[in-house]
Structure 1
Amino acid sequence: MVQLLDVLPQNDHLIFCGDVINRGPQIEACMTLAWDLMRRGHATWLRGNHEQSLIEALAMGGHAGELARQDQDTVQQIGNQQCRPWQVRLNQLPLVYRAEGWSATHAGFNADGQPDLSIRESFWESYDGRFGRVVIGHTPRFRVERHQHIVLIDTGAVYGGKLSAYCPETDQVIQVEGLQDPEQPATNAPEAAHLQGDQVPC
């Protein structure tokens, strides 16, 4: 993320399309960077299904809550107590960002036009453009994909793909290399539709 921010126009407002957490070796640093940019008015961090999952795990009590938190990469990496301050912050994250002629959300909109953090094919196949061009992440692809009214920008950075920024006004894509892990070759990473990655449209 730091490498990508270094090559993006300094005055652009960044929209993080969710799933900033729960993957990769430096989750807390990534969260802190995104939060600080948002606090300073330079970015909007949208909630993804991974943020939602952590919110729910932190809110659960008893043994069920313990098990849910153990299943969270973020908790495993930084600890339960370190995650607690993030519960309030993550609850503040919006679900959608709207601009002139386009919008951004984590995964798409349901049939009622509400943001849905886990939707895939049903949105891709039925979206009619009512919210303009929609920029989404959620499902890693080998490259940024432009469809009629939808742009998918998750290119599987945490699985060896690239971290991608997309500018809706200019249709420009800027990318940097993602996590290079010999056990997770880039050619295999985005094939599984359930994998999550990091996204930063500009």
Structure 2
Amino acid sequence: MNLRRHRHWVIGDVHGCLQPLCHLLASLPPNDHLVFCGDVINRGEAIPATMDLVWDLVQAGSATWLRGNHEQDLIDALESRDCLSQHATYTQLGDSSARQWLPRLQQLPLVYRGDGWCATHAGFDAAGQPDLSIRDPFWETYDGRFGQVVVGHTPRPQVEHIGAIVLIDTGAVFGGCLSAYCPETDAVVQVQGVVTDAVLAGVGPC
């Protein structure tokens, strides 16, 4: 059963960017429900602390953490014990902690359904099943059957609408923004992601 507290804020790919996430959370209404759109892990420099923060919010009933392709890749690697050295999350957590995280990652849902909208990491396939890696085929053929669909997965310069699809990954780990989108009001809240040389030069997107 989905929790509905006032409004919802769907948060794009965090990728271990702890400080931007803390800044974003401080900018959002405290009683609204957060939906992390997957890829909380990998790439960033503070992955374990980011995972702990998001999981604490989930345990408190304040948030839902959806599975992204990076979570799925780590699940697959841990289950098969293959290619683990290629995962930044595994490297930062260490073997013992990563094994402890596996049951939590395995229970992450694929979809969050609201009133007239839903959130999933990347989209749905032709059969209407969540697909954690899909891009153009979903954007080009979505028929509106699930209402408005909010997705991350593909970094964009800004939050972008493609018909009934809202893309909210704005590349925080690449120097873009970390974005939150409210499907009830169409509002967007953004904070600066990882600071890059381009951002320091004054050409960042935020």
Q: TM-score, normalised by structure 1?
A: 0.87
SS of the equivalent of 1:97 reads strand
- The match for 1:195 is none
Give the 3 Å change call, closer, same or farther, for CA 77–145 of structure 1 in structure 2: same
Map residues 134-153 of structure 1 onto 2, 5 A cutoff: 134-153=149-168
- The match for 1:71 is 86
Distance apart, 1:188 and its partner CA: 11
Cα pair 1:103 1:135 within 8 Å, conserved: yes
Matched, 1:124 2:144: no
For residues 95 and 185 of structure 1, the distance between their equivalents in structure 2, rounded to whole angstroms, comes to 36
For residues 171 and 54 of structure 1, the distance between their equivalents in structure 2, rounded to whole angstroms, comes to 33
Distance apart, 1:181 and its partner CA: 3.0
Map residues 29-178 of structure 1 onto 2, 5 A cutoff: 29-61=49-81, 65=82, 68-178=83-193
Give the 3 Å change call, closer, same or farther, for CA 160–131 of structure 1 in structure 2: same
Amino acid at match of 1:125: E
SS of the equivalent of 2:56 reads helix
**Structure 1: segments with no counterpart, 5+ residues:** 190-202
In the comparison of the two structures, how many residue pairs are matched? 185
SS of the equivalent of 1:47 reads coil
SS of the equivalent of 1:163 reads strand
Moved beyond 6 Å, runs of 4+: 183-189
**Structure 2: segments with no counterpart, 5+ residues:** 1-20
Distance apart, 1:78 and its partner CA: 2.2
Indicate the RMSD between aligned Cα atoms, in angstroms. Answer: 2.1
Aligned-pair identity in percent equals 61
For residues 83 and 56 of structure 1, the distance between their equivalents in structure 2, rounded to whole angstroms, comes to 12
Give the 3 Å change call, closer, same or farther, for CA 97–186 of structure 1 in structure 2: farther
